[in-house]
Amino acid sequence: MGLSLFNLTGKIALITGSTHGLGMAMAMGLGKAGATIIVNGNSSQEKIDKAVALYKSEGVTTFGYKFNVTDELAVKKAIQKIESEVGYIDILVNNAGIIKRTPLEEMAVVDFKEVINVDLVSPFIVSKHVVKSMIDRKQGKIINICSMMSELGRSTVGAYAAAKGGLKMLTQNMATEWAKHNIQVNGIGPGYFATSQTAPIRVDGHPFNEFIVNRTPAAKWGDPNDLGGAAIFLASKASDFVNGHILYVDGGILATIGKPSNED
């Protein structure tokens, strides 16, 4: 069996929010393993086109579709268009998400609801419309991008933690309902990764940089490419009997209570 377990040739993968960052890293991993990649974003067609060009420059067969993952009608139309123009989706990665860092007592209800809508409701919407063809074909992989905040709280990210905690349970319930159709539903919980967004706080001497390095047993920020392997595993035959699992890719943060400040 060997490496053939991880071969995604002939598979079609939709990754929401895959024009940049960790979504792009996971999508690129799936593409390098042979999958045809469907890039999704909602900011601008120009950004989608730029991302598609980047994937193609790496030898990945890629198509781009702009739609709002929180708009059910838009999602339904987009999935129908993808199925007509590219083919049925074999792998869905619900990655699109937002975060608003505000103390709960100061957070506007409209902002709280927006985070829940993007981070929790949209994975339900997209999965609902993708899974129908998976059920018909008796096969499919759904990967929900959870977070360490699916397990832990942290100051100022209450809405995000509530959404990601809910997404963990939604993942388990999707697995409960759809496993009988030979559909595996799992999650990935990323730790702290070195991306363009975290660059300003990863400099030596920055308090948060020191906190993350000291809090992580691996003593470093993650490389976005590290998520590619996790995505390939959960998208491939290698995980055909893995269901309802959240795979934390965090350098060991959730495995430890931390270390004393005087410990090497």
The CATH number covering residue 24 comes to 3.40.50.720
pLDDT for position 59: 98
Residue with tokens 């496993």: 179
Instruction: Write down the pTM of the prediction.
Output: 0.96
Neighbour count for residue 90 (Cβ, 10 Å):
21
Give the three-state DSSP class for 143.
strand
What confidence tier does 198 reach under pLDDT thresholds 50, 70, 90? confident
Give the three-state DSSP class for 9.
coil
Full domain range(s) for residue 179: 2-250
Is residue 38 within 8 A of residue 19, CB to CB? The reply is no
Q: How many CA atoms lie within 13 A of 8 on its CB side?
A: 30
- Do the domain assignments include residue 207? yes
Q: Is the pLDDT of residue 156 over 90?
A: yes
- Do the domain assignments include residue 217? yes
- Do the domain assignments include residue 80? yes
Give the three-state DSSP class for 216.
coil
- Do the domain assignments include residue 259? no
Question: Domains in the chain: how many in total?
Answer: 1
Sheet strand arrangement including 91-94: 62-66, 36-41, 12-15, 91-94, 140-145, 183-190, 246-249
Is residue 235 within 8 A of residue 188, CB to CB? The reply is no
**Considering the chain, what is the average pLDDT of its residues?**
95
Is residue 93 within 8 A of residue 23, CB to CB? The reply is yes
What confidence tier does 1 reach under pLDDT thresholds 50, 70, 90? low
Neighbour count for residue 65 (Cβ, 10 Å):
20
Task: Please say if 248 is a catalytic residue.
Answer: no
Is residue 24 within 8 A of residue 37, CB to CB? The reply is no
- Do the domain assignments include residue 38? yes
- Do the domain assignments include residue 196? yes
- Do the domain assignments include residue 136? yes
Q: What are phi and psi of 246, to 5 degrees?
A: -110, 115
- Do the domain assignments include residue 256? no
Distance, CA of 34 to CA of 30 (rounded, Å)? 7
* pLDDT tens sequence across 24-81: 999 999 999 999 999 999 999 999 999 999 999 999 999 999 999 999 999 999 999 9
Catalytic residue among 55, 65, 160, 192: 160
* pLDDT tens sequence across 80-135: 999 999 999 999 999 999 999 999 999 999 999 999 999 999 999 999 999 999 99
Mean pLDDT of 249-261: 87
